[in-house]
């Protein structure tokens, strides 16, 4: 036994089967404390004397594993007895699961990396002495009852399987300088959702409907005979005939296979997760009953801080969808979606949604970990990979995606006021802006390169996912914006910003020369939102005109959509902003709601009017990006804003904008400086404003500003 832990692994290849490692030891003296630190190459579940050592699931979480791997620390004193048996089962997790449809065969092979664990048990005795049991060749391994576990394809368990033939672990040559203490939020089972309906489909399938799309897994209880089989498939929606559908998971099998032991048993997967609302009971030993199934939500343990409510049930459902979308995609890394063969930390999606995310939940710690992964994954040349952790290294950095490296830390700083976030990220932010400067084809713009553009814009030419806003236009606009935020960051940190101030002026000049006119909704939106247009008011007016001429149809994609309502509201077109927000026909936020959405869809018409699906190649029903409209509701509809960019709501401006098409609307945020609540209610001809602030604030109603102290206020307007 020594203090120095070694990486250990199986001494033979176990193929698809998940290994279990064990350490047995006796305790002869009185123990006052026992601590375990542990991590694995893959997701792990640890049990001491048959009991789970923690409610942390999918440990060790997901980081840029080659550079940073978290270990967890557990107090195991209460689980200790005189004879101890610690077992650690390791699934492929994010570390080893190949992305079936996305990775090349060669890359999939490379994902077949070693499965190992690293850890140390420290026992403190009443006599003051200590004993350390570190992972080394004296630990043993065997095949576990988990016969298969992958992120995308699911889990197979043989409950009757008894591990035999324990062998000594091998020593694995794997770096230890990548090990870091747990940095992010813990991942937990945060909610249980009861099964709502049992459906027998026209095709004769038996489905359980949980009434809500969630990310996690299904727990079932069954009284069975040894060898009975259970097979569950997951899906988000039903097809237009009411049958099970999961073609949109693409190549992710997302299935659970369970071989029963004798008697009554309750089980759920523990080394993987799924995004689903429906479960198809493909095999079950008896007639299934609703009470036998519960969905368990698995999410980073983020605290809810924001609330949105109004008089319209469809809009409230949209709010609910936005919160569920966040819960479903904040599983250790901000992901695009939780279900298909992707589930990646797409930087663009996080950039689009970060402000809403930071009002809805306390995501400071969650993002800090991800920011450190952004820094770790930044390329030599300063480029930011499109997904973090970087599973797609062959993709070129894209504007609006890579800009997440600047925009997200800035927003987290603004919302929570932690300067250290900026301090930590500053070098990475700077290198990203320098990367653009060095890779553009035309100085002071960002031309050339490969970009996702206005991804999913509805003005896309046939056959393209990209809206017709110009790539170079978007890239140059974001170049300006990131440079502007970099300057603000430098000033807060007391760094010299003069070089970037010069750069910024030149970018703006070059942008104005290059783009004297704007061709699309998104181009107008970005020109105003990033203050690049010479005449902001006129550009916003032109945008309003363009939208009206188009029958009040929103055409924007990933880059335009998060800002379009802000731009309209900020320049006197509040009415049109509400028209778009409350619109029911396609394209709109409420169209999916009217078609049964319980989370935010990737496409406004993921299911179209006639019940047809978008192509299964790209049709997620849990994609939080367009949920970014929440920040317009907090900031513009309810009017809760930072005054003069004062971080953490130290100074607040409450400037609500009511609209008669709703009877009332309210929002609240628990900020680092206290609670803020803003509500407006139509009462006859008048509007009553009910505002509560726990910090000094400025309240602006109908253009009149009143400075108030912490307290509750009612205004009429």
* CA count, 13 A, side-chain hemisphere, 37: 16
For ligand BGC, the closer CB: 456 or 665: 456
Q: Do the beta carbons of residue 14 and residue 144 sit within 8 Å?
A: no
Q: Do the beta carbons of residue 407 and residue 482 sit within 8 Å?
A: yes
Reduced to 3 states, what is the DSSP secondary structure of residue 426?
A: helix
- Tell me, residue by residue from 197 to 226, as one string, x for binding to ligand BGC by CB under 6 A and - for no binding: ------------------------------
Cβ 97 to ligand BGC shortest distance, Å: 17
Number of residues counted as binding ligand BGC (CB under 6 A): 8
Q: Do the beta carbons of residue 430 and residue 486 sit within 8 Å?
A: yes
For ligand BGC, the closer CB: 144 or 390: 390
Q: Do the beta carbons of residue 152 and residue 341 sit within 8 Å?
A: yes
Cβ 177 to ligand BGC shortest distance, Å: 32
Q: Point out which span in 258-266, 335-343, 540-548, 645-653 binds ligand BGC (CB under 6 A).
A: 335-343
Among the listed residues 336, 454, 631, 666, the single contact to ligand BGC using CB under 6 A = 336
Identify which of 548, 280, 529, 558 has the alpha carbon closest to the alpha carbon of residue 404. Answer: 558
Cβ 327 to ligand BGC shortest distance, Å: 17
Q: What six digits make up the tokens of 532?
A: 């690049």
For ligand BGC, the closer CB: 336 or 605: 336
- 239 counts as binding ligand BGC under rule CB under 6 A: no
Cβ 346 to ligand BGC shortest distance, Å: 4
The owner of tokens 């609703």 is 290
Q: What six digits make up the tokens of 310?
A: 């109004």
- 446-465 residues in contact with ligand BGC (CB under 6 A) are 452, 455
Active site residues: 342, 602
Question: Is residue 226 classed exposed, middle or buried when 0-12, 13-18 and 19+ CB atoms within 10 A define those classes?
Answer: exposed
- 342 counts as binding ligand BGC under rule CB under 6 A: yes
- 635 counts as binding ligand BGC under rule CB under 6 A: no
Q: Point out which span in 263-271, 336-344, 529-537, 635-643 binds ligand BGC (CB under 6 A).
A: 336-344
For ligand BGC, the closer CB: 603 or 636: 603
Vertex 32: Cα angle to 26 and 35 (nearest 5): 70
Separation of alpha carbons 146 and 158, rounded Å: 6
Cβ 620 to ligand BGC shortest distance, Å: 6
Cβ 234 to ligand BGC shortest distance, Å: 18
Q: Point out which span in 56-64, 121-129, 283-291, 341-349 binds ligand BGC (CB under 6 A).
A: 341-349
Q: Point out which span in 165-173, 206-214, 340-348, 503-511 binds ligand BGC (CB under 6 A).
A: 340-348
- 346 counts as binding ligand BGC under rule CB under 6 A: yes
Separation of alpha carbons 89 and 46, rounded Å: 6
Separation of alpha carbons 58 and 46, rounded Å: 11
For ligand BGC, the closer CB: 294 or 326: 326
For ligand BGC, the closer CB: 393 or 717: 393
Could you say which DSSP state residue 199 is in? E
How many C-beta atoms lie closer than 10 Å to residue 499's C-beta? Answer: 11
Separation of alpha carbons 279 and 271, rounded Å: 18
Cβ 322 to ligand BGC shortest distance, Å: 16
Strand-pairing partners, residue 59, are 44
Among the listed residues 150, 349, 471, 670, the single contact to ligand BGC using CB under 6 A = 349
Could you say which DSSP state residue 185 is in? P
H helical segments located in 269-390: 313-329, 347-360, 364-377
How many C-beta atoms lie closer than 10 Å to residue 704's C-beta? Answer: 9
Element counts in the chain: helices (H) and strands (E): 15, 38
Q: What six digits make up the tokens of 107?
A: 């890359």
Q: Point out which span in 346-354, 572-580, 626-634, 666-674 binds ligand BGC (CB under 6 A).
A: 346-354
Q: Point out which span in 106-114, 133-141, 334-342, 353-361 binds ligand BGC (CB under 6 A).
A: 334-342
DSSP assignment of 598-618 equals SS--SSTTSB-TTSPBPPGGG
Q: Residue 23: which residues within 8 A CB-CB, separation 6 or more? A: 85, 86, 121, 133, 135, 138, 139, 140
Separation of alpha carbons 703 and 452, rounded Å: 40
Sheet containing 640-642, strands listed edge to edge, beginning at the edge strand earlier in sequence? 640-642, 652-654, 697-701, 704-708
For ligand BGC, the closer CB: 8 or 600: 600
For ligand BGC, the closer CB: 153 or 336: 336
Cβ 213 to ligand BGC shortest distance, Å: 16
Q: Point out which span in 155-163, 326-334, 343-351, 494-502 binds ligand BGC (CB under 6 A).
A: 343-351
171-186: burial string, b at 16+ Cβ within 10 Å, e else: ebebeeebbbebbbbb
φ, ψ for residue 99 (rounded to 5)?
-90, 105
Separation of alpha carbons 456 and 709, rounded Å: 45
- Tell me, residue by residue from 377 to 416, as one string, x for binding to ligand BGC by CB under 6 A and - for no binding: ----------------------------------------
Among the listed residues 91, 142, 154, 348, the single contact to ligand BGC using CB under 6 A = 348
Cβ 452 to ligand BGC shortest distance, Å: 4
For ligand BGC, the closer CB: 228 or 349: 349
Q: What six digits make up the tokens of 630?
A: 């929440």
Q: Point out which span in 272-280, 344-352, 408-416, 536-544 binds ligand BGC (CB under 6 A).
A: 344-352
Cβ 163 to ligand BGC shortest distance, Å: 39
Separation of alpha carbons 276 and 92, rounded Å: 21
- 41-70 residues in contact with ligand BGC (CB under 6 A) are none
- 341 counts as binding ligand BGC under rule CB under 6 A: no
Cβ 277 to ligand BGC shortest distance, Å: 19
Cβ 340 to ligand BGC shortest distance, Å: 8
Could you say which DSSP state residue 636 is in? I
Separation of alpha carbons 589 and 627, rounded Å: 8
For ligand BGC, the closer CB: 58 or 388: 388
For ligand BGC, the closer CB: 250 or 365: 250
* Contact residues: ligand BGC, CB under 6 A: 336-337, 342, 346, 348-349, 452, 455
């Amino acid at each position: 036994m020594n203090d120095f832990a070694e990486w250990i692994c199986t001494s033979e290849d176990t193929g698809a089967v998940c290994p279990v490692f064990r350490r047995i030891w006796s305790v002869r003296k009185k123990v006052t404390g026992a601590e375990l630190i542990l991590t694995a190459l893959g997701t792990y579940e640890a049990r001491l004397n048959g009991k789970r050592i923690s409610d942390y699931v999918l440990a060790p979480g997901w980081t840029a594993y080659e550079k940073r791997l978290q270990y967890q620390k557990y107090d195991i004193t209460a689980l200790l007895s005189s004879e101890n048996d610690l077992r650690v089962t390791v699934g492929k997790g994010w570390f080893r699961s190949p992305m079936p449809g996305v990775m090349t065969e060669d890359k999939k092979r490379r994902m077949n990396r070693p499965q190992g664990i690293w850890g140390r048990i420290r026992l403190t005795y009443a006599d003051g002495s200590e004993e350390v049991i570190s992972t080394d060749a004296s630990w043993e391994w065997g095949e576990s009852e988990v016969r298969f576990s992958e992120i995308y394809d699911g889990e197979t368990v043989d409950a009757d399987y008894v591990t035999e033939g324990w062998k000594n672990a091998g020593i694995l040559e794997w770096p230890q300088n990548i090990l870091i203490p747990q940095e992010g939020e813990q991942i937990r089972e945060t909610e249980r959702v009861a099964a709502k309906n049992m459906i027998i489909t026209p095709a004769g399938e038996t489905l359980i409907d949980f009434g809500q799309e969630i990310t996690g897994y299904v727990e079932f209880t069954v009284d069975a005979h040894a060898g009975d089989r259970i097979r569950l498939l997951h899906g988000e929606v039903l097809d237009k005939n009411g049958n099970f559908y999961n073609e949109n998971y693409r190549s992710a099998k997302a299935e659970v296979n369970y071989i029963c032991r004798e008697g009554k048993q309750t089980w759920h997967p523990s080394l993987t997760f799924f995004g689903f609302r429906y479960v198809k009971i493909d095999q079950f030993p008896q007639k299934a009953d609703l009470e036998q199934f519960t969905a368990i939500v698995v999410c980073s343990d983020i605290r809810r801080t924001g609330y949105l409510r109004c008089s319209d049930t469809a809009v409230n459902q949209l709010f609910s969808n936005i919160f569920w979308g966040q819960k479903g995609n904040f599983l250790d890394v901000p992901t695009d979606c939780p279900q298909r063969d992707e589930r990646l930390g797409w930087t663009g999606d996080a950039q689009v949604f970060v402000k809403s995310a930071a009002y809805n939940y306390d995501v400071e710690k969650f993002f800090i970990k991800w920011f450190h992964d952004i820094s770790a994954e930044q390329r030599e040349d300063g480029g930011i990979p499109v997904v973090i952790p970087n599973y797609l290294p062959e993709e070129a950095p894209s504007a609006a995606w890579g800009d997440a490296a600047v925009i997200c830390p800035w927003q987290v700083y603004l919302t929570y006021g932690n300067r250290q976030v900026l301090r930590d990220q500053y070098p990475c932010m700077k290198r990203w802006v320098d990367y653009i400067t060095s890779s553009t084809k035309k100085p002071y713009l960002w031309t050339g390169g490969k970009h996702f553009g206005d991804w999913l814009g509805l003005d896309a030419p046939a056959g393209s996912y990209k809206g017709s806003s110009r790539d170079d236009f978007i890239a140059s606009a974001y170049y300006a914006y990131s440079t502007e935020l970099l300057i603000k960051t430098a000033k807060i940190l007391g760094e010299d910003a003069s070089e970037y101030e010069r750069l910024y002026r030149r970018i703006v000049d070059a942008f104005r020369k290059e783009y004297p006119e704007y061709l699309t909704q998104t181009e107008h939106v970005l020109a105003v939102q990033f203050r690049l247009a010479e005449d902001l008011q006129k550009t916003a007016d032109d945008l309003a005109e363009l939208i009206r001429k188009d029958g009040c149809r929103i055409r924007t994609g990933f880059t335009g959509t998060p800002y379009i309502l802000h731009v309209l509201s900020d320049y006197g077109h509040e009415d049109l902003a509400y028209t778009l927000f409350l619109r029911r026909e396609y394209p709109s936020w409420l169209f999916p709601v009217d078609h049964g959405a319980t989370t935010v869809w990737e496409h406004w018409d993921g299911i179209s009017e006639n019940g047809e699906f978008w192509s299964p190649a790209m049709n997620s029903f849990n994609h939080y990006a367009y949920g970014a409209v929440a920040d317009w509701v907090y900031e513009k509809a309810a009017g809760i804003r930072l005054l003069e960019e004062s971080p953490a709501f130290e100074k607040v401006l409450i400037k609500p904008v009511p609209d008669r098409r709703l009877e009332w609307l309210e929002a609240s945020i628990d900020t680092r400086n206290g609670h803020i609540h803003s509500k407006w209610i139509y009462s006859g001809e008048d509007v009553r404003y009910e505002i509560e602030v726990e910090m000094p604030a400025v309240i602006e109603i109908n253009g009149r500003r009143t400075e108030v102290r912490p307290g509750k206020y009612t205004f009429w307007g």
